[in-house]
């Protein structure tokens, strides 16, 4: 099953940019998940199980390295790239 996801990270500290940059770099390193960055969020597309496994690993890494942070996630079934206007 394919999945589409929109995710935003809001680190709960003053120096928030490094945590966001590293999170995006780390998820972008996974070849089986397609990443699209926007000014407000990051979109992820791929196999549901792979996307969820990636999130499980990378959210934990982010919290362990950078401390508290809020992740806002929208998860949709299917690969919805380019379907916004349809």
Q: Is the pLDDT of residue 86 over 60?
A: no
Does the pTM exceed 0.95? Answer: no
Average pLDDT, the chain: 92
Please report, for residues 12, 20, 37, 39, 82, the alpha-carbon distance to residue 25 in angstroms, rounded to integers and kept in the order given: 19, 9, 11, 15, 23
Q: What is the per-residue pLDDT across 6-23, written as a single tens digit (0 to 9) for each?
A: 999 999 989 999 999 999
Please report, for the chain, the start and end positions of each structural domain, with discontinuous segments joined by +.
2-77
Per CATH, the architecture of 2-77 is what? Answer: 2-Layer Sandwich (3.30)
Q: What is the per-residue pLDDT across 27-68, written as a single tens digit (0 to 9) for each?
A: 999 999 999 999 889 999 999 999 999 999 999 999 999 999
User: What is the predicted pLDDT for the residue at 81?
Assistant: 86
């Amino acid at each position: 099953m394919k999945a589409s996801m929109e995710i935003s990270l809001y680190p709960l500290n003053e120096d928030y940019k490094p945590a966001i940059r590293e999170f995006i770099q780390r998820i972008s390193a996974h070849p089986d998940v397609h990443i699209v960055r926007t000014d407000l969020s990051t979109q992820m597309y791929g196999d549901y199980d792979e996307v969820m496994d990636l999130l499980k690993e990378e959210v934990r890494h982010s919290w362990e390295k950078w401390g508290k942070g809020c992740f806002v996630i929208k998860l949709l079934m299917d690969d919805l790239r380019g379907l916004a206007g349809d």
